[in-house]
Amino acid sequence: MTHPLSSNPQPRKGNLIIAIDGPSAAGKTTLAKLLAERLGYLHLDTGAMYRTVGWKASKTGVPFDDVEQITEIAKNIKIRFSLRQEGENRVIADGQDVTTDIRSPQAGEWASRVSAIPGVRRAMVALQRQAGAGGGIVAEGRDMQTVVFPNAEVKIFLIASVRARALRRYKEFKEKGMAANLEEIERDMQKRDERDATRADSPLKAAPDAVLLDTDGKSIDEVVAEVIGIVQEKVLKA
C-alpha cells in the first residue's frame, strides 16, 4: 500500500493528533508505529524525512554547509511512505526506496545537520502539517508538539539516559548486521543531543503541556500501554 504524505489510507478511530518527541533512540519510532497500528492512525516518521534530505545531499555531492542548495533539495524532493502488508514502513525518495540507506549512523548525523537549517525545517513542516490536517495521525520527531502540531490533543515527550539510548541503537545496528561501536555511538549521541537542544530554529524541548515519559527500564509494551491510557483519558474528557 503506497500513499503520499498528504493522505491517510488507514481506518481511523477518532481524529486525534498525537505528537511524540524526544532525543535520538528514546523509542519514538517504535512507539509511534505500534500506537498507530493500535489506533488505525497514520504513522508520520518525520525523522525519516530529515534523514532523506541528508541522504539526497550526500548522494548529489552537496556540501552540508551549503544552506541554499540543501534548502532547495528539501523544497523539491518527493518523499512518500510505502506501507507493506506486514506493517513495515518503506521510505521512497524521488522514486527510490531509501529505507536501508537512511538508517545508518551516518544518516542520523546527516539528519541532525540538515534539520538545523531553517529553510529545510520550513519545507518539512509544511509537508507534515499537510499530512496531519485531518487528524488521525501519530507524528514523531523533535518538534512535533512545540512547532509542527502545537494544538495536538496528545503530547508525549520521551526521555531516557544517554547510555540506555546508545545501547538500544547499538543493538539495532548489530541485529541488522551493521558495524557498530558502543562508545562511539554514545559520544555521537551526546553531540547530537546538544546540537538538537541548542539550535536556534525549533530546538528539541518538551511543550509545557506535554506528558514526560521515561522509557528507561521499560519494555515497549509497557510504554505503549501507558500512552494508550493517556489517549483514552483524553478521549473521555473530550
Say what the pLDDT of residue 126 is.
Answer: 93
* Contact criterion met (CB below 8 Å) for 137 and 131: yes
> What's the average model confidence in pLDDT over 100-115?
90
* Cell numbers found for residue 162: 544517554
pLDDT band per the 50, 70, 90 thresholds, residue 3: very low
User: Which H/E stretch holds residue 211?
Assistant: strand 211-214
pTM: 0.81
Domain ranges of the chain: 2-233
Q: Which residue has the cell 534539520?
A: 115
Query: Residues 166-218: pLDDT tens digits?
Result: 999 999 889 988 888 999 999 999 998 998 888 888 889 999 999 999 999 89
Determine the topology of domain 2-233 in CATH.
Rossmann fold (3.40.50)
Give the chain's radius of gyration (CA, Å): 17
Of residues 115, 127, 119, 129, the one with CA closest to residue 72: 119
Query: For residue 16, which amino acid is it?
Result: L
The C-alpha cell that represents 8 in the structure block: 491517510
pLDDT (tens digit per residue) in 15-56: 899 999 999 889 998 999 999 888 888 888 898 999 999 999
* Cα separation, 221 vs 37, whole angstroms: 13
